[in-house]
Chain A
Amino acid sequence: MSLSTRHLLGLQGLPKEDITLILDTAETFKEVLRRPIPKVPTLRGKTVVNLFFEPSTRTRISFELAEKRLSADTVNFSASISSVQKGETLRDTARNIEAMKIDMVVIRHAFSGAPHFLTRHVKANVINAGDGRHEHPTQALLDMMTLREKLGSLEGLKVVIVGDILNSRVARSNLYGLQTMGAKVGFCGPRTLIPVQAERWGVEIFYNLEDAIAWADVLNILRIQRERQVAGLFPSIREYRSQWGVTRAKLDRVGKKDIIIMHPGPINRGVELESEVADSGYSVILDQVTNGVAVRMAVLYLLSGVETSFEG
């Protein structure tokens, strides 16, 4: 079995068979992670570079761990956009990758389309670890893996993504992946954080959180960035918390006992999500983190084209 693509740039247009293959493979790797020595020689001799043009802690660590568990040689490159703007272009970065004979590139970038740009200039496999507001495919894959684990299937599942849809790559990748897998997707947040013509995606749109809770099987809650408020997209953190913050009181008012709470992290505790809910039995947030490593191992392995088994 192999993927239909050499790069993982996004989930838009990625066939159901590919997503299923990644999730199935990730389950096998999760078993590897439970072993006393959680490491396989699968990518021995392969070199992976983690190019992080935007600060990230958990995604970078998760990828790095996945690479090490697969015995790949890894190098990390962190750069702020400002240092890039001093003169060295992304094209130069691509030239360096080629010169250093890197096999796989994991790229996180503040601007949509940066991984797509790289694919035009390097021979390596490119994995998008988040590009601007566009896509964050491994996050959505780990979210889907977590849901499949908890509920068995994604078919017919109702998932509401709560918060800043406009600026969220997590929302877009989840939408594309979940719809491909037969789930129904809703968005909930202030109108100013829902992108224009979002209804053309065939999603349910809720401005009222309790309506969304009543409809949903799952709430995937996005981190709210303070700079969006500064940019005038909503009036205040106080108002956001009162309208769209997920609290025990709101869940109780709707009377949902079995809803699943997800969050890609890091959580603004007490803003978009109350601590009591984040740490409750509803929450699968730490399962997401564990599955993140397994999913990234699966993606690295499947894209590498390596045929050897990962047994032993």
Chain B
Amino acid sequence: MREPQQANLVLIHGGEIYDLLKDRTFRADIVVENGRIAQIGRIEPASFKGDIVDASGCVVSPGLLDIHVHLREPGREDKETVATGCSAAMSGGFTAVCAMPNTNPPADKRAVVEFIKERARSQLTAVYPIATITAERKGELISEMADLVDAGAVAFSDDGDSVKNTAVLRRALEYSSMFNVPIIEHCEDPYLDAGGVMNEGFVSTELGLPGMPSIAEEIIIQRDLSVLRYVGGRLHIAHISTARSVELVRQAKQEGLAVTCEVTPHHLALTEEEMRRFDANFKMNPPLRTAEDVEALHEGLRDGTIDAIASDHAPHAVQEKEEVELALAPFGVIGLETTLGVIMKSVVERGTLPLTEALRRLTIGPARVVNLQDTLRIEEGAVANLTIFDPEASWQIDPTTFRSKARNTPFKGWEVKGQVKAVFNRGLWYRRDQ
């Protein structure tokens, strides 16, 4: 089916249920009735009157959640809209996304948060807006956090920039702590990275491309952890990318600080060596780092330092991203339709994490960051929020088939496993055409 339909009566038959909240997997069938899980058990398909999803050999997981996406609406609807972003998410197995607030206007007021939620109202994929830390994303005055949380914001971030003024960051952590909502920091010293195109190191030296040193990220993480230690609150580090960054978060967690972090699929799968092609589809911020950094990110996943995998889905127009010189192209790549496949290949097949653990970083891990664990229940009576995929089915990543408006992926042509079969959420369901 091309569009999602009402989940009036659907049988998910023969799948392996991954009840990650209760930490158990078991073979069972699920009946979804009017968008809710009506029955879990053994149900005979022959006598079933509704639609049937053949889930044999498939994983039935709580719906995947991506806590770092850019939907570009309002402001750059030519790049992506809430509707096309949600469609891409659904196709990629994500039943919920958190939308970053660096739109135009930015999500710094109740009206913008409500607008985004309204735009997503009829979508299968739920959109949980993230609001800005500061008014107009200027880094000066903290935004109306109480009102924004009341309107539905699940976190605060000035993503794209760090909060430059440390006193402002301090106030933000203090103020947001009253609502138990995290501050999500994009950690980057803008002076050290000024003019940078790629990771600073021998490859940037050889290519003559201005570098972005690892310390630009690490210095801000260190600063933010110091503030967190001093005033409390909750801090989430977005798109962690260096070995030292992982170590800083690891130590902070051992110390008991309320810090979490996420990693993107591209930072797990690719290194700075890709920049030798001078192809803007490998230009992102933070930049692709060294093989040693990639190894440290995998270790961070293994030992639990890294809580979540998030795509940093960053759609761009072809004429801005792919038709210009590398230095002029904007940072960022899309990921909603490739994350599951790339994680199956670069995390599960690579042996970093078993499937169950990898799934946790796409569900419970991120859900804990933004207080959405409750949406992941697989039990009778709960809202059917489910992602069903075949972990063995291979497919090739072909940007021309994307539902996103954008095509800026670094994974074009990759052969991956893990094909989404069906998703359920918000009373709707969608089945991929076979």
Chain A positions near chain B (C-beta within 8 angstroms): 12, 81, 85, 89-92, 109, 111-114, 116-117, 131-135, 169, 172, 195-198, 200-201
Contact = CB atoms under 8 A, between A and B. Distances in A.
Contacts of B324: 89-91
B114 to A, nearest CB: 35
Contacts of B327: 111-113, 132
Given A112-B278, A113-B278, A196 B326 contact: no
B325 interface: yes
The 5 closest A-B pairs by CB, nearest first: A113-B278, A133-B208, A91-B323, A134-B208, A89-B323
Given A91-B322, A200-B202, A112 B207 contact: yes
A90 B205 contact: no
Contacts of B209: 112-113, 132-134
A90 B323 contact: yes
Interface of B: 200-202, 204-211, 213, 277-278, 319, 322-328
A132 B326 CA distance: 11
A280 B208 CA distance: 33
B208 A117 contact: no
Contacts of B277: 116
Contacts of A117: 278, 325-326
Contacts of A113: 207, 209, 278, 325-327
Given A89-B324, A113-B207, 9 more contacts: A89-B323, A91-B319, A91-B322, A92-B323, A111-B326, A133-B210, A134-B208, A172-B208, A196-B213
Contact of A90 (B206, B207, B208, B325): B325
Contacts of A134: 207-209
Contacts of A172: 206, 208
A18 B208 CA distance: 23
A81 B325 CA distance: 10
Contacts of A135: 208
Contacts of A196: 200-202, 204-205, 211, 213
Give the most central of B205, B213, B323, B325: most A CB within 10 Å.
B325
Nearest to B198: A112
7 contacts: A12-B206, A85-B328, A89-B323, A111-B328, A116-B277, A132-B327, A200-B205
Nearest to A176: B206
Contact of A114 (B201, B210, B322, B325): B325
Given A89-B324, A111-B327, A112-B278, A197 B202 contact: yes
